Amino acid sequence: MPEGHTVHRLARTFDTLYAGQVLRVSSPQGRFADGAGVLDGRRLVASEAWGKQLFLGFVPAGVPDPRPTASDTVWLRTHLGLYGAWTFAGAPDAPEVAHAIGAPRRRIGERDSVPPSAPSSSVTSDTWDVPEPRGQVRVRLLGEHAVADLTGPTACEVITADEKQAVEARLGPDPIRDDGDPEAFVARVGRSRVTIGQQLMDQAVVAGVGNIYRAEALFRAGVDPLRPGRDVPASSVRAIWDDLVVLMRDGADHGAIVTTRPEDRDAGRADAEGAHATPARTRQNTDGAPGAVPSDQAFYVYHRDGLPCRVCGSPVLVKELAGRNLFWCGTCQT
């Protein structure tokens, strides 16, 4: 499931491609025909992310900018879930954005899929041939010079402003958002007997954190993921929040999750002693990108079970916790 930084990148992409435009909205698959009918011919005026939820705000075409009042706006709410993805295509003169953001991981990975460089062409948005939908496209948004197709989402619905607020009220604070409330996060963790490892995956506790950020933030804080939340010092919980703010905003800016500090980016103690390099066990396709951290150097513990801890050399541990694999170092996280 894509983590929260991915959804914030989506919001930025929609803002770049479509802000202020009147869009043609359709449902090639047919399952969203009623919702598409409501949105078709409306102007996109807002693109927002909260955790793993994306909200696109639409107003009637005749409503001018700036952003109208809440009563004028209806919202397209989407949640990618395990299999959802947005795929973009545009005319050669369209702003450059990622080709696809979301699942499936075998095609896109933790980093956005980027299209090859477009050849020089005299084709413009006025003469651009819009590509046909590929696969089971739930909703298609067509603007002046780009098209976006959504496939395989867990949620895709039109909601009112009040319904949007109700969804947000059920979510925990989002470390990427400027209005994220660290004290609410600290308080929620501290009043629960549930392990902090489970709480970090609870979107009502903190929005947008997934399995990678969970494992990596706990390692960087030196916190045992199996410790009950109420037994973790509030200062440690606040430090986790502050670290998530930095890590997740960096992921939103660059389209890849990198949690290792530069001094720890060897391949582990075994390599320092002359053994063979540890294999890449993630699907984050950072390799080859200018200035990117190689995929086998990006994480401390995530998907590194059995490999030496980058800090102490102990084998990284793994166990199932609430249906998801949890990775941690039993020596560094005590």
Asked if 17 and 97 touch (Cβ cutoff 8 Å), the reply is yes
The distance from CA 21 to its chain's CA centroid, rounded to whole angstroms, is 25
By mean pLDDT, which of 172-181, 213-222, 235-244, 273-282 is the weakest?
Answer: 273-282
Closest by Cα among 139, 155, 161, 176 to 82: 155
Indicate the range of 190-204, 283-297, 310-324 predicted with least confidence: 283-297
Instruction: Write out pLDDT tens, residues 39-54.
Output: 999 999 999 999 999 9
45 near 39, Cβ under 8 Å? no
Question: Residue 112: pLDDT band by 50, 70, 90 thresholds?
Answer: low
230-234 contact pairs (CB < 8 A, 24+): 230/189, 230/190, 230/191, 230/192, 230/193, 232/189, 232/190, 232/196, 234/186, 234/190
- Give tens-digit pLDDT for 239-259: 999 999 999 999 999 999 999
State the pTM of this model: 0.88
Q: Cis omega before residue 119 (within 30°)?
A: no
For residue 275, what pLDDT is reported? 41
Nearest to 54 by CA among 259, 213, 252: 252
Pairwise CA distance, residues 53 & 193, whole Å: 27
Sketch the domain layout of the chain as residue ranges: 4-169, 182-328
Reading the block at residue 216, the tokens are 């990596």
162, 93 contact by CB (below 8 A): no
The CATH classification number of 182-328 equals 1.10.8.50
**The pLDDT value given to residue 115:** 46
Tell me: domain 4-169, CATH 1.25.40.10, correct? Answer: no
**Residues designated as active site:** 2-3, 52, 324
Q: Which two tokens stand for residue 254?
A: 């660059």
Q: How many CA atoms lie within 13 A of 2 on its CB side?
A: 38
